[in-house]
Amino acid sequence: MRTTPLAAACLSLSALLSCLSNAAFGETRHSLDYQNQSAWKGVLDQAQSPIDIVTSHAQPALDNEPREIALRHLDADGTAEDNGHAVQFNTHATEATIRGRYFRMTQFHMHAPSEHTIDGKHFPLEGHFVFKAQDGRLAVIGVMYEEGDANRGIQEILDDLPTASAKPKTATLDVHSMLPEHLGYHHYLGSLTTPPLTQNVEWYVLRQPVSLSHGQLAVLRRHYKQNNRAIQPLHGRPVIEFGG
């Protein structure tokens, strides 16, 4: 069948529009291999943690946004352990309402030096309070620690760490002593900082640091002198500042 010039032009235009449409959605004929789905890349593959929080670039929260972090049951029963990459306290006693949603704490662990940086500055220690919602959503409250007075909660963890030959024993952790007086924070979406590096984790990095003693820091460094992940690119993610 003979193709007229007008028909050929229409076919060319149709092909061009099809290509533009595929490009707009990031699709090609070879983009989806259903036999190799483990190689697929999600839209949040670049949303990793930790990050450098540049305070001058943080966006203020909207006036009508829920912002409160409220913690309950701050005398938490659990067990302390050296999990192979961090000193950790496991508990399900502490509950939190974070921006109007309910979470339950799963564990607290420490990284030295800090994983997040504030305006390029590392702190000697960063603690991560890991919370989980009923639907599986993860939220982590990050706390920076600096040298000063001894910290009661950290000392309780150190005192209850079992030796290599002993089994973990139930202990009570004073969570309140490990938190600052004011719970203002920087919030962004990121990931876990250890494998499997799960993404879509809600991060709440508190703005006010808490003290621990030089001796407590020395004991933690004997366990892990450096167990912090490198700073990851922000890739345009917003960092929201909430007062408190």
Asked whether the beta carbons of 206 and 147 are under 8 A apart, the reply is no
Backbone angles phi, psi at 213, to 5 degrees: -85, 165
Backbone angles phi, psi at 14, to 5 degrees: -65, -45
Residues β-bridged to residue 117: 52
Q: What is the DSSP letter of 195?
A: T
Burial class of 141 by CB neighbour count within 10 A (0 to 12, 13 to 18, 19+): buried
Q: What one-letter code names the amino acid at 51?
A: I
Burial class of 38 by CB neighbour count within 10 A (0 to 12, 13 to 18, 19+): exposed
What distance in Å separates the CA atoms of residue 23 and residue 44, rounded to the nearest whole number? 19
Instruction: Read off the tokens for 44.
Output: 């949040």
Which residues have a Cβ under 8 Å from the Cβ of 164 and sit 6 or more positions away? none
User: Could you identify the residue written with the tokens 């449409």?
Assistant: 21
Q: Would residue 128 show up in a list of annotated catalytic residues for this protein?
A: no
**Catalytic-role residue among 57, 73, 85, 223:** 85
Task: State the catalytic residues.
Answer: 85
